[in-house]
Amino acid sequence: MTINVLTFHGFYDPLIGINGDHDCIPSSTLEKIIKASTKAHFLLVDPMSMPRSGDTQKSVMLTFDDGLESCHRIALPVLSKYDVSGLFFIIPQKIGMTGYMSQSDIEDLIASGHTIGSHSLNHLDLTSISTAIAKTEIQASKKILEERFNVAVDSFSFPFGKYNKTLVKICYDVGYKYVYTSVCGINKSLEVQRIKRNNIYNNISDSTLLRYLDQPLGFRLGIQVRDFGVYITKKLVGDHCYRSLRNRILRGR
């Protein structure tokens, strides 16, 4: 089995207006991905019933970072329409804040058959704080979500995709079963220590979308070169400056 885990963030309604954020996509892109996956005979995996290795089925899994309110308002109806389940990574301290899902939005997600995971307590860069604070971010977020929503929280995704060996170990030590990164690529199963994911961004073309699903070797190499370029640029100009530069360039298109 191969599993292509896709990452989404926010959604916008094209009828209301174009959102300039690189990671915010229209609901039509989500719909297109679900249709393309089905057409290419990918199995849309339910995160509740984690697949096991051993067969040759190609699968796609949908994950949603940050717990944004548009996930509930815009993405949920699309998932319900196609009867597809998703995994939503929630930041407990941001529940109910402007732009984020409320307690009842998340309860609604769970009642609709979706799964929640933790995206840390406060969405800090866990590699830039002390190990003790990072451990609290990882451990307390799991406990709070489990108590607030009365579900098991087995999955964790790193804020900003930033992690190291120590943080991965902490995640497993405190009881997570699945640790999601933002490193691009396809997983042979979910029984790997660091699950790779592929971010879906705004203005992704239809042809790129299809190659994103299948990821032929040349395409994968291209992504690795691009990610290395992003890594170097972030090192040189800093994360914040990189994000505003990227958004400005994309808006100017």
| Sites of contact with Zn ion (CB under 5 A) | 65-66, 159
Least gap, CB of 197 to Zn ion (angstroms): 12
In eight-state DSSP terms, residue 92 is G
Least gap, CB of 88 to Zn ion (angstroms): 12
- In the complex with Zn ion, which residue's Cβ is closer, 37 or 182? 182
- In the complex with Zn ion, which residue's Cβ is closer, 124 or 210? 124
Burial 163-181 (b: 16+ CB within 10 A, else e): beeebbebbeebebebbbb
Q: Which of 149, 71, 150, 154 is nearest to 118 (CA)?
A: 154
Q: How many residues does the chain have?
A: 253
| Structure tokens belonging to residue 43 | 């199995």
Least gap, CB of 98 to Zn ion (angstroms): 16
- In the complex with Zn ion, which residue's Cβ is closer, 26 or 159? 159
Burial 114-148 (b: 16+ CB within 10 A, else e): bbbbbbbbbbbebeeeeeeebbbbbbbbbebbbeb
Least gap, CB of 65 to Zn ion (angstroms): 4
- In the complex with Zn ion, which residue's Cβ is closer, 90 or 213? 90
